[in-house]
Structure 1
Amino acid sequence: MKTVVVMVAGLGEHRVAERVWRAREGSVLVRHDLGRVADGVVRRWVDGRLTVLELAHGCVSCALRHDLLPLLRELAGRTVVLHLDPAIEPEALCVALPPEEVHVEAVISVVDRETWLADATGEVTLAERGFGVGAGDERTVAQVVVGHVEFADALVLAGDPGDIRTLPVLDRLAPGVPRQELSSVDVDALTAAAGAGRLHDAFGPLLRGVPLEPDGRVSVVHFTDRRPFHPQRLHEALDVLLEGVVRTRGRLWVATRPDTALWLESAGGGLRIGDAGPWLAAVEDWSGVDPERRTMASLDWDPRCGDRGQEIVVIAHEAAPDEIAAALRAALLTDEEIEQGDGPLRAQDPFAREEAS
C-alpha cells in the first residue's frame, strides 16, 4: 500500500501545511528542520512530536535517505503532509521517492510577494542566508525559490503585493498553475490541482503555455537557431543572462560537442551548464527513446543538422530582450567557421577546460 504525500514548500513563516493537515482527516504532518544538518543534527516533528536525529554525515540527501524515506515506509497507507525545510527542493525529492511506494498527490509552493522577486534575482547562497546545508552545497536562494514555483501544482500567495513585476513573472514561470491567497486558502481546490509536480525533460517543450507578450518590464526571449555556438563566444555571452534575468532554461548545441546537447539553466545571478544527453542525430537505435521526443524530432528534422539546434527561453524582469537575443546570436558560428570544422575551435573551448579542472 502506497503512502500518499502532499508537499508544501516555501521560504518564511506560513501555516499552509498545517491547514492542509487539519483539512485531511487521518493525515500526518511531518516537518524537518535542517538548520543544523551540517553538524549531523536534524530535528523532525510528526504531528507536533519532536525527535532529534543524529546523522553520521551532515547533508540534505543523508537526511532524506536515512530518515524521511524510512518514515514514509512506516506510514504506508496514510496521507502525509510534508512541510519541507527550505533546503529541500520538491523536484529533487520527487525524483528520490520510489514511485512504487510513494504517490505524490500535490506539490504546493508558498510565495511571499514582498520578498520573492528579490530572492529570485539575487546571488546569495542558502548557506549565506543561514539555511542549513551540508559542506559543498553552493545552491543559491534564487535557485531554490524559482524551483519552488516552477515545480508547483498550485501556488499560495502570501504577504503584501510587493513588486508589481512579481505576478507577471509568475505567469511566465508557472503558466496555468492555479494560485490562491493565503488569507482564503481552499485546501480541496489546492490538492485538486494535483499533477505530482512538474518533472522537467531536457528535450521536452520549453514554451508550453508561456505567454510571449511583454507585461511592463517583464518579457520572454525565445531564442532558436540551427547553427552551433562558438564555445568561447558563448562562454562570454552568458554574462547577459546574469543581470536583469529571473530564469533561463534551454538546450545548447556547441560546435565542439556535436553529439551531446548541453542544458543551460540560470536563476538570478547563478548559472549552470550540464550534459543533457545525446542528440538523436548521434543515436542509431531510437527504440528506447521517448515516443514524444521521437515525434518532435521527426517533425523538426533538418537534413544537415538533424535535431541539433539552439532553443533557449529567458524570462527577464529588467534586461532588454533585444540585447539578450543579439548577444546570443553573436555567439553563433559564422558561415566561414562552419566550413572550417570544429578542429580550430577545440583550443578555444572553455567548457572543456572547466570540466578538466
Structure 2
Amino acid sequence: MPRPELLVLTGPTAPGVEDFVTRIRALDPDAAVLHHDLRDVGAGLVHRRLRTRHDDVTTTVELAHGCVSCTLREDLLPQLHALAAPGGPARIVLHLDPVLEPEQVCWALLHVLVDGTTVADEVDLRGVVAVVDAGTWLADATGDATLPARGCPELPDDERTVAQVAVGQAEFADLIVLTGTADAWERARLDAVLARLVPGAPRLPVRELDDRVFLASAVRRGRPADVHAALLRGSPPLDADCGVRLVVFSARRPFHPGRLHDALDVLLDGVVRARGRLWLATRPDAVLWLESAGGGLRVGHAGDWLDGAGDEAWEAASAERRAIASLGWHPRFGDRAQDVVVLAHDADPDEIDAALRGALLTDAELAAGPGAWSALPDPFGWWHTDPCSPAADAVAGTDGRSEEEH
C-alpha cells in the first residue's frame, strides 16, 4: 500500500500563502492541510487547524512548556502520524507557521521518534514549497528587522531576524512559488538572487500553479545538507547579474580571531547570504560554521577537523566529506581550510575578499607556530551574536552543531 505524500509549505503570513493553499486544494480536493498557528505559543497555547474535503476544524492545544520544540514533539508530529494511518488522505500538506524554518521541521520529521517510528517512516516526504512575495522578499531578506517587530510571536531565546527566517525558508525549498507584484527591475534582481541562493528549485508564479507543485521530480526532498558538504550546490551561476554575484573565498591558513571578528561586519551590509567553514588559529581542532542572512549572522561549532581526529572519525564521516578532505589534503594542515561562499546583491566583492583575506594570519604570525597562536585574543565564545550580545545559551542545530549568533 503506498504511503501518503507529505508536502511541506513554508512562507510568511500573507494573502499569497492562503491563495496558494486554496489553489492546491483545488488541484487535489482530497488533500489534508495541517497548520499550527504559534502566535500564542508564549502563553502555552497553539491553534491547530486541519482542513479536509469535508471539514475545517480549529483546535486550541495547551502545551505545558510553551515552546516550539514541544509543539513539534507533542502535537504536530503525532497529528501527522494519525493522518498517515491507513484510511487517511493520500496527500498531506503541512503548512508551517511563519516563524518556523523548514530545515529544522524536516529534520524532526526524519529523526524524531513517536511511538518508535518517525513521520518519514510513515509518509513519502516529497519536499518543501516556499511561497515568496516578489515585491517584498528581497527587502526582508537583506534587512535587520526582528521577528517581534513584524508582529511575529516572541519566542524564548529567539534572536533571529526576519532575514534569517526568510532566507532559510527559501534556501531549503524544492520549489519557489512567486506571489505579489514587482516591477521588471525588482523581478530581475529577485530572479538573480534566487538562481544563486537555491539553484535547484524551479520558480513558478502562483497563477501558473499546476501539478508541478506536488514535487514529483524534487531533488532535495526535505533532506538537510551536511555542513561539511560542498558549499556550492546545484551549479549556481558564478557570473554577475543585476549586481548580484557569488563570492567564493578559500584559504589554507588560519584566521586571526580578533581580526576576523572585526572583518565579519563586511558580511552584514549588501549581502543576502554567507555560508561556510572557518578555522581559527586559537582552535586548531574545531570546525566553525558561519551563516548569515541580511543583518544577522551566526557562528557555531560544527565538530572537528578529520586531521588528527583518528580512524573512527574518518570512518564516521560522509563519503562526500572524505572526498573533499582527500582532494584538498595539505601536508601540514590536513583538511583544515577556510571555505566561505557569499551571495552579495549590493556589496563590492573585492572588498569582501580583501576583508576576509586581511583577517588571515600573516606570514610572520604563521611562522610563529601553534604555541603563539593559542595566546591570541579570541572574542568568539561557543555562542556569539552580531550585533554582539552579552550572553546567550547554546542550542543544538539540525545536524548536531551548536550555534553562536554573531
- TM-score interval for Structure 1 and Structure 2 normalised by the shorter chain: over 0.9
Residue of structure 2 aligned with 1:203, choices 209, 225, 228: 228
User: 1:245 maps to what in 2?
Assistant: 271
The whole-number CA distance in structure 1 between the counterparts of 2:223 and 2:275 is: 15
The whole-number CA distance in structure 1 between the counterparts of 2:95 and 2:377 is: 47
Confirm whether residue 61 of structure 1 aligns to residue 63 of structure 2: no
The whole-number CA distance in structure 1 between the counterparts of 2:121 and 2:257 is: 42
CA 1:353/1:278 → structure 2, altered by over 3 Å: closer, same or farther? closer
The whole-number CA distance in structure 2 between the counterparts of 1:241 and 1:342 is: 28
User: 1:95 maps to what in 2?
Assistant: 107
CA 1:102/1:189 → structure 2, altered by over 3 Å: closer, same or farther? closer
Please say if residues 153 and 198 of structure 1, whose CA atoms lie closer than 8 Å, have aligned partners that are also in contact. no
DSSP 3-state at the match of 2:215: helix
Q: Which runs of 5+ in 2 are unaligned?
A: 110-117, 385-389, 392-406
The Cα of 1:343 is off from its aligned counterpart by 3.5
Q: Deviations over 1:86-138 (max 9, x none)?
A: 01111100001133234321210011011001100111111221112422211
Question: Match for 1:13: what amino acid?
Answer: P
Confirm whether residue 222 of structure 1 aligns to residue 248 of structure 2: yes
User: 2:190 maps to what in 1?
Assistant: 166
The Cα of 1:347 is off from its aligned counterpart by 4.2
* More displaced 10-residue stretch of structure 1: 245-254 or 64-73: 64-73
Confirm whether residue 84 of structure 1 aligns to residue 96 of structure 2: yes
Confirm whether residue 349 of structure 1 aligns to residue 367 of structure 2: no
Residue of structure 1 aligned with 2:289, choices 263, 266, 273: 263
* More displaced 10-residue stretch of structure 1: 234-243 or 95-104: 95-104
Residue of structure 2 aligned with 1:49, choices 52, 57, 60: 57
Q: Deviations over 1:37-70 (max 9, x none)?
A: 1111111111121111121122222221111011
The whole-number CA distance in structure 2 between the counterparts of 1:21 and 1:263 is: 40
User: 1:185 maps to what in 2?
Assistant: 209
CA 1:22/1:67 → structure 2, altered by over 3 Å: closer, same or farther? farther
Identity rate of aligned residues, in percent? 52
The whole-number CA distance in structure 1 between the counterparts of 2:149 and 2:213 is: 36
* More displaced 10-residue stretch of structure 1: 311-320 or 202-211: 202-211
User: 2:21 maps to what in 1?
Assistant: 17
The Cα of 1:189 is off from its aligned counterpart by 4.9
The whole-number CA distance in structure 2 between the counterparts of 1:52 and 1:85 is: 15
The whole-number CA distance in structure 1 between the counterparts of 2:152 and 2:82 is: 28
User: 2:133 maps to what in 1?
Assistant: 112
Confirm whether residue 39 of structure 1 aligns to residue 37 of structure 2: no
Confirm whether residue 307 of structure 1 aligns to residue 353 of structure 2: no
Please say if residues 90 and 151 of structure 1, whose CA atoms lie closer than 8 Å, have aligned partners that are also in contact. yes
The Cα of 1:318 is off from its aligned counterpart by 0.5
Q: Deviations over 1:284-334 (max 9, x none)?
A: 112222122112211121111111101100001101000000000000001
The whole-number CA distance in structure 2 between the counterparts of 1:353 and 1:276 is: 10
Please say if residues 252 and 263 of structure 1, whose CA atoms lie closer than 8 Å, have aligned partners that are also in contact. yes
The whole-number CA distance in structure 1 between the counterparts of 2:153 and 2:140 is: 17
* More displaced 10-residue stretch of structure 1: 293-302 or 268-277: 293-302
* More displaced 10-residue stretch of structure 1: 195-204 or 222-231: 195-204
Please say if residues 262 and 276 of structure 1, whose CA atoms lie closer than 8 Å, have aligned partners that are also in contact. yes
The Cα of 1:85 is off from its aligned counterpart by 0.9
* More displaced 10-residue stretch of structure 1: 105-114 or 183-192: 183-192
Q: Aligned pair count?
A: 357
The whole-number CA distance in structure 1 between the counterparts of 2:7 and 2:223 is: 14
CA 1:283/1:21 → structure 2, altered by over 3 Å: closer, same or farther? farther
Question: Match for 1:292: what amino acid?
Answer: E
Question: Match for 1:204: what amino acid?
Answer: A
Normalised by the length of structure 2, the TM-score is 0.84
DSSP 3-state at the match of 2:307: helix
CA 1:3/1:66 → structure 2, altered by over 3 Å: closer, same or farther? farther
CA 1:262/1:351 → structure 2, altered by over 3 Å: closer, same or farther? same
Please say if residues 299 and 383 of structure 2, whose CA atoms lie closer than 8 Å, have aligned partners that are also in contact. no
The whole-number CA distance in structure 2 between the counterparts of 1:132 and 1:101 is: 31
Please say if residues 27 and 210 of structure 2, whose CA atoms lie closer than 8 Å, have aligned partners that are also in contact. no
The Cα of 1:353 is off from its aligned counterpart by 8.4
DSSP 3-state at the match of 1:263: strand
CA 1:181/1:352 → structure 2, altered by over 3 Å: closer, same or farther? closer
The Cα of 1:176 is off from its aligned counterpart by 2.9
CA 1:129/1:256 → structure 2, altered by over 3 Å: closer, same or farther? same
DSSP 3-state at the match of 1:351: coil
The Cα of 1:352 is off from its aligned counterpart by 4.0
Question: Match for 2:78: what amino acid?
Answer: P
> CA RMSD for the aligned pairs?
1.9
Normalised by the length of structure 1, the TM-score is 0.95
The Cα of 1:354 is off from its aligned counterpart by 6.3
Please say if residues 222 and 313 of structure 1, whose CA atoms lie closer than 8 Å, have aligned partners that are also in contact. yes
